[in-house]
Amino acid sequence: MATIMTVSRDNLDLPAADPITIHLYKNTKSFGILFGRNNWMDVEGIGATAKGRHIHIDLEAIGGRPWREQIWLLAHEYAHNMQYAVAGDKGGRIIWFAEGFAEWTAAKVLDSLQWQDYSVALHGVQRELSRHKELLPALSSLRDSRGWDLHLRKPKGEIRTYRLAFAAVDRIITEKGLSSALLFLKSGDFGESFGESQENFEVDFEKSLPATPSSNATSFSFAKPDWKVGDEWTYAEKRFGKRATVVKRVIRKDSFDGVPAFVVKVNDEEHFFSEKTLALVAIQKNGTPILVQSKSRFIDWPLKRLKEWRIAYTRENFEAKIMSAVDYLMFVSGIESIQVPAGTFDAIKIEGYGYETGRLAVEYWYSPEVKWLVKSRSHRLQGLVEEELMEFKIG
């Protein structure tokens, strides 16, 4: 918490909320009862909340979450403390601004700590808003807590509220400056702070939202690539802020649990990819399986513009002793020119969104010239995992 407060003050030039009092609750039941809720189930999954100069933390709810998610949550709540320090109880008078400012602060704190670039966080939000544009409410319907809670409870509620508000506050601060945003927190006068009415800003913001991909664009179709033994790809990997070079080489054809597969050597591991779909089947180390996935259509060939498919599978990690489930809606958004260390490629962009949440989970840039991905991003709770192609050798 001290790190979040220091970064907010020294790196981001935000007002200090000091002192604050942190209240720790050992489980969700005590969190709900001691925080004054009649039904403790109402607070399940919240993790933390802020009021005035106080932050209340449910240790049971946040204990199993990755550090990145915990820091985001605490930075978000601390932003509400800052709002109170600047404006007292008037600091949250427009809910979408209060919550959007808290999301903006959390993203900036993670950027300062070099856990996730702010530009990547904003990119993810913009892709989600584009993908689900038809679901987005008008900002005017998110001005008070009643409207906010109504939209938050709807399907993909986080996209309709927190993510939309984040994008709105980013636009305000980008165009008007942080000082104007802080002035608004203090005065509550939108026109005086930003030089335009709330109504005009909301109309202009809604017009600025990313467009939904058009079905009228040029069509294309790309079949599954023909891998051969000896094909090799070298990637620059950034995993949770750490950098490495990863070489992936097709060393033989084999099978795993009856599934014909290409075996790809990755460092000291062997990755089995289905010959039929090129989906990962298993990972083996020293002849022993360390990860097994149920069947999935990772990429549904052939790739066509605006094509959609759902992938739902389980992944069992024997080393970590974790069984996890993946449920994504995959989407081909179009062709993008992308530059990576290996050069510039016209790549087919594939995006994967949480089936229930609508949150952006994965991004892939596939190049027929390379016969595989030239870039990939996995937006995990632990942080970003990104690979960019450095060089390749294909038959």
Q: How confident is the model at residue 215 (pLDDT cuts 50, 70, 90)?
A: low
Domain assignment of residue 216, yes or no: no
| pLDDT exceeds cutoff 50 at 40 | no
User: Over 50: is that where the pLDDT of 351 sits?
Assistant: yes
Is the same domain home to 38 and 180? yes
CATH number where 186 lies: 1.10.390.10
Q: Are residues 283 and 322 in the same domain?
A: yes
Q: Tell whether 214 is covered by a domain.
A: no
Q: Please write down the HEC assignment for all residues of the chain.
A: CHHHHHHHHHHCCCCCCCCCEEEEECCHHHHHHHCCCCCHHHHCCCCEEEECCEEEEEHHHHCCCCHHHHHHHHHHHHHHHHHHHHHHHHHHCCHHHHHHHHHHHHHHHHHHCCCCCHHHHHHHHHHHHHHCHHHCCCHHHHCCHHHHHHHHCCCCHHHHHHHHHHHHHHHHHHHHCHHHHHHHHHHCCHHHHHCCCHHHHHHHHHHHCCCCCCCCCCCCEECCCCCCCCCEEEEEEEECCEEEEEEEEEEEEEEECCEEEEEEEECCEEEEEECCCCCEEEEEECCEEEEEECCCCCCCCCEECCCEEEEEEEEEECCCCEEEEEEEEEEEEEEEEEEECCEEEEEEEEEEEECCCCCEEEEEEEECCCCEEEEEEEEECCEEEEEEEEEEECC
Pair (309, 342) in one structural domain: yes
pLDDT of 66 reads: 86
pLDDT of res. 380: 87
Q: Among 208, 239, 274, which residue terminates a domain?
A: 208
- pLDDT for position 31: 84
Show which of 208, 231, 258 is a domain's final residue: 208
263 shares a domain with 182:
no
Report the chain's mean pLDDT, rounded to a whole number.
92
pLDDT for 44 beyond 80: no
| Interval 65-109: pLDDT, tens | 888 899 999 999 999 999 999 888 765 689 999 999 999 999 999
Q: Is the pLDDT of residue 3 over 70?
A: yes
| Residue 98, pLDDT score | 94
Q: What pLDDT is stored for residue 91 in this prediction? A: 59
**Is 309 found in the same domain as 184?**
no
pLDDT for 395 equals 87
**CATH code of the domain containing 315:** 2.40.360
Whether pLDDT at 361 is above 70? yes
Domain shared by 290 and 158, yes or no? no
Instruction: Examine the domain organization and report whether 201 and 296 are in the same domain.
Output: no
Same domain (yes/no): 201, 233 = no
Residues 196 and 226 in one domain: no
228-238 pLDDT, tens digit each = 999 999 999 99
Tell me if 266 is assigned to some domain. yes
Same domain for 228 and 185, yes or no, is no
Domain identity same for 358 and 230: yes
pLDDT at 320: 83
| 196 and 286 housed in the same domain | no
* Number of domains the chain is built from: 2
pLDDT for the residue 43: 60
Among 150, 183, 208, residue at a domain's last position: 208
* Confidence bin at 296 (pLDDT 50/70/90): confident
Domain range spanning residue 182? 2-208
In-domain check, residue 124: yes
Instruction: Tell me the pLDDT band of 295, cut-offs 50, 70 and 90.
Output: confident
146-184 pLDDT, tens digit per residue, is 999 999 999 999 999 999 999 999 999 999 999 999 999
